[in-house]
């Protein structure tokens, strides 16, 4: 008998919140776990390059990709 609490479908907060949190710690990881492998890898490298040359571009890219991980399907 299945429990009324058992669910195989992720909730809305799991679909959006977890990738955003992961992207906060490692840029592009949220996109990777959502299946957007190429996008995640590109974001990771552009964020690292942005941090290496100037801190501001890195911060902008990092914040943008967190929002993207939260909003993308």
pLDDT digits (tens, 9 = 90+) for 21-70: 888 899 999 889 989 999 999 989 988 888 888 788 888 889 998 898 88
Q: Is the pLDDT of residue 4 over 70?
A: no
Helix (H, G, I), strand (E, B) or coil at 1: coil
The first and second tokens of residue 9, run together, are 């479908």
DSSP 27: T
């Amino acid at each position: 008998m299945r429990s009324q609490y058992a669910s195989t479908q992720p909730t809305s907060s799991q679909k959006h919140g977890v990738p955003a949190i992961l992207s906060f710690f490692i840029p592009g990881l949220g996109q990777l776990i959502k299946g957007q492998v190429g996008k995640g890898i590109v974001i990771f490298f552009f964020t690292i390059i942005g941090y290496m040359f100037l801190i501001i571009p890195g911060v902008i890219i990092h914040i943008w990709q967190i929002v993207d991980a939260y909003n993308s399907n």
